[in-house]
Structure 1
Amino acid sequence: MLNEPSLTTRRENGRDVPMLVWRADRPLLSVSSAPLGGGLDVRNWVVNATVPMSYDRDDPADHLAELADRLGLDGPGVGLLTGVDVAEVVARADGGVRVWATVGLGTPVWAAAPAEAGAPAATVAAEAAPATLVERVGTVNIVAYVPARLGPAALVNAVATATEAKAQALAELGVPGTGTPTDAITVLCPVDGPEAAYGGPRSTWGSPLARAVHAAVTAGGAGTVVPWSDRLAT
């Protein structure tokens, strides 16, 4: 079981910087694209940490490991970073599946955007986006818990399903892209019990996962997200 996240802070450069921390009652299977704890493995916790928009560390995994150590988190876990104030996390549930999303859409990109000479695709997409979106912080981080054991292929399929649901939500919001360049996702499930073989959008667990992700990203993307570092100046 993955518990509801707790909101805490860390002291950096004279400021209290927010973090969300999920703790599992027992180790969980995880598939993740996070800087720390990515891949397929067993994990005990998840951290989603706010960082300023000026963040320039080139060792995010080490940074997140340091934060986990400060929090006294035991064993392996998953660590995510975002410029969004993680206190604005949006939670949704559907059919036993639970999803939490921190949604920032400052740099929307099309996954298959053609690269232009001398300009990264992300830059091209950002320049084409409406000003109201460009001013918003980037990164959509999604943490999902499925209450049944998913097989390895089903876990990978669940990532695809959640990503499709995110893209659907962004399309319905009128966002000019399928996500941002730094989006990350983590799907967790129990390590024991009967193994579900499928995680697609019409499967037993993929279907509620898709709906919960869609609802969370829609709700998070509909509001105005201010970069955490900008909040300090107001």
Structure 2
Amino acid sequence: MTQPFRSADRRSYLSECWREIQIRHEEDAIIITCARPLETISSAVLGGGFSITERIINWKVPLAYDCSDPVHDLHMMLSERGYPPQSTVGMLTAAKLTHASITEMRGDEFTIVCCTTAGTSNAARAGLLRPVFSSYTAGTINSVVLIDGRMTPPAMVNAVITATEAKAAALADLGIADSLHGLAATGTTTDAIVIGASQSERYLGLHAYAGAATTIGNAVGRMVYESVYEAVSTQKE
């Protein structure tokens, strides 16, 4: 685990395991790029669902952000930076970008790089009755899981499940509670997840599953757990 951007003079992180991945910290965004396009599945505001992307942006907005049209706001932000929206996955967060936690590892026919930003002021437990709203608000636990390897679409969906379970486990171990009910939180009310795969032909194995008992699913769970744990446990530092 590492939080490279807590150092004031550190603005860029180059993955040690997957040299094509670069993570940059700008004043109001974490920008993740890969030397090749990635197949992604995500719950992101921009480029969500299944897509092909060249960059993933975690954009910081204020706690009082007017969330009436986040897609428009992301388009404007991308335009200012010269990034084409059709090849970008964009998320929103109000969490500390400096405390982004990065984990990575090599495994069985894959390499994984995970980056999480987290804040838990709106921690919540799924499955309980609570006040709900139709509008979108900025996400507070955002995880990006990038996999250099070959995965089927069902395996990528499976990875979303495994990553979500790992996030919930980390919050439980940290004692994060739903402020409304006092029970263990499973996330926050506005989390987002991105799973990206290179689908590189240099790998012979095609991962058809990504549950906790598979090599790739076990790795996804561990990387997400560790990055969520570190990002949440240090958020007040």
Counterpart of 1:175 in structure 2 is 176
**What is the rounded CA distance, in whole Å, between the counterparts of 1:53 and 1:109 in structure 2?**
17
Q: Which amino acid aligns with 1:147?
A: D
> RMSD in angstroms over aligned alpha carbons?
2.0
Q: Is it true that 1:112 corresponds to 2:123 in the alignment?
A: no
Q: Secondary structure at the match of 2:215?
A: coil
What percent of counterpart residues are identical? 32
Q: Secondary structure at the match of 1:4?
A: strand
Residue correspondence of structure 1 range 81-230 to structure 2 within 5 A: 81-95=92-106, 96-115=111-130, 119-120=131-132, 139-176=140-177, 177-193=185-201, 194=204, 195-225=206-236
Q: Is it true that 1:5 corresponds to 2:23 in the alignment?
A: yes
Q: Which runs of 4+ in 1 moved over 4 A?
A: none
**What is the rounded CA distance, in whole Å, between the counterparts of 2:23 and 2:56 in structure 1?**
9
TM-score by length of 2: 0.79
Q: Which amino acid aligns with 1:57?
A: C
Relative distance call for 1:23 and 1:138 in structure 2 (3 A) is closer
Shift of 1:221: 1.1
**What is the rounded CA distance, in whole Å, between the counterparts of 1:192 and 1:99 in structure 2?**
18
**What is the rounded CA distance, in whole Å, between the counterparts of 2:21 and 2:190 in structure 1?**
25
Write the deviation string for residues 96-144 of structure 1: whole angstroms up to 9, x where unpaired.
31110001000111110124xxx449xxxxxxxxxxxxxxx97100011
* Unaligned ranges ≥5, structure 2: 1-17, 178-184
Q: Which amino acid aligns with 1:216?
A: S
Q: Is it true that 1:67 corresponds to 2:77 in the alignment?
A: yes
* Unaligned ranges ≥5, structure 1: 10-17, 122-136, 227-234
Question: When the two structures are aligned, how many residues end up with a matched partner?
Answer: 200
Shift of 1:203: 1.4
**What is the rounded CA distance, in whole Å, between the counterparts of 2:171 and 2:88 in structure 1?**
29
Q: Secondary structure at the match of 2:45?
A: coil
Q: Secondary structure at the match of 2:83?
A: coil
Shift of 1:85: 2.4
**What is the rounded CA distance, in whole Å, between the counterparts of 2:219 and 2:89 in structure 1?**
23
Counterpart of 1:47 in structure 2 is 57
Shift of 1:37: 0.7
